[in-house]
Amino acid sequence: MPHIDLDKNLPGMRSLMAFSPETASPMGELANLLLRSNEGLSMADRELIGTYVSYLNDCFYCQQSHGAIAVCYLDGDTELVDQVKKNYTNADIPDKLKALLTIAGSVQKGGKFVTAEQVEAAKALGATDRDIHDTVLIAAAFCMFNRYVDGLASNTPTDLSSYPLRAKQIAEMGYGNHIFKEKQPVAENAAV
């Protein structure tokens, strides 16, 4: 049960954005800047970083939401997303992304856990300064997003079939205020 009066029909971040549209707008802009770019890191890489940090933070809503968005960019490869969450070192992803996920995991613990050795290892595998910057900022932002969603105990759907439907909308339209103004998609065979 949410700690504050949130719209019960909107899950997770969407209910918080509806509650506070004035903060929703800049948060949506930040999400678009961090996650909807293919400059350096791909959009799939960016969503995988956010998913991994959310997994480490045990934020069910964010790891399911962003994992489902990553699946959209990965042509439906849910197994890869699960591998990245549980043991990215054995996942079938580039070594550069593995090195960046190591950095993201350190950021999740606290900024000072990132080491020069981790950064140098990522650079040796082809990571640019922009890749490292974006990884750290995505990881830090997801710590904030995770704590926002869980700190207010927003509604978290446990029906996993709802996440891919919303993910498709975000993959097509991006993040922002529109995500709490539009009807939640429902699977054709879902109980009403």
Identify the domain containing residue 162 by its residue range.
Answer: 12-176
Per-residue pLDDT at 190? 44
Number of domains forming the structure of the chain: 1
Evaluate whether residue 41 is within a structural domain. yes
Evaluate whether residue 91 is within a structural domain. yes
Nearest to 100 by CA among 75, 128, 64: 128
Summarize pLDDT for 62-108 with one digit per residue, the tens: 999 999 999 999 999 999 999 999 999 999 999 999 999 999 999 99
Summarize pLDDT for 119-165 with one digit per residue, the tens: 999 999 999 999 999 999 999 999 999 999 999 999 999 889 989 98
Q: How far is CA 14 from CA 67, 90, 108, 140, in A?
A: 16, 33, 23, 20
Listed range (19-23, 30-34, 188-192) with the worst mean pLDDT: 188-192
Report the alpha-carbon distance of residue 65 to residue 50 in Å, rounded: 10
Summarize pLDDT for 23-75 with one digit per residue, the tens: 999 999 999 999 999 999 999 999 999 999 999 999 999 999 999 999 999 99
Report the alpha-carbon distance of residue 47 to residue 36 in Å, rounded: 9
Evaluate whether residue 186 is within a structural domain. no
Evaluate whether residue 70 is within a structural domain. yes
On the question of pLDDT at 191 being above 90, the answer is no
Report the alpha-carbon distance of residue 42 to residue 89 in Å, rounded: 19
What CATH number has the domain bearing residue 152? 1.20.1290.10
Per-residue pLDDT at 9? 87
Report the alpha-carbon distance of residue 175 to residue 17 in Å, rounded: 11
Evaluate whether residue 80 is within a structural domain. yes
Backbone dihedral region for residue 2 (phi beyond 0: left; psi -120 to 50: alpha; all else: beta): beta
Evaluate whether residue 189 is within a structural domain. no
Per-residue pLDDT at 162? 87
Q: How many Cβ atoms are within 10 Å of 161's Cβ, its own excluded?
A: 11
On the question of pLDDT at 183 being above 70, the answer is no
**Cβ proximity of 83 and 48 under 8 Å:** no
Backbone dihedral region for residue 126 (phi beyond 0: left; psi -120 to 50: alpha; all else: beta): left
Evaluate whether residue 102 is within a structural domain. yes
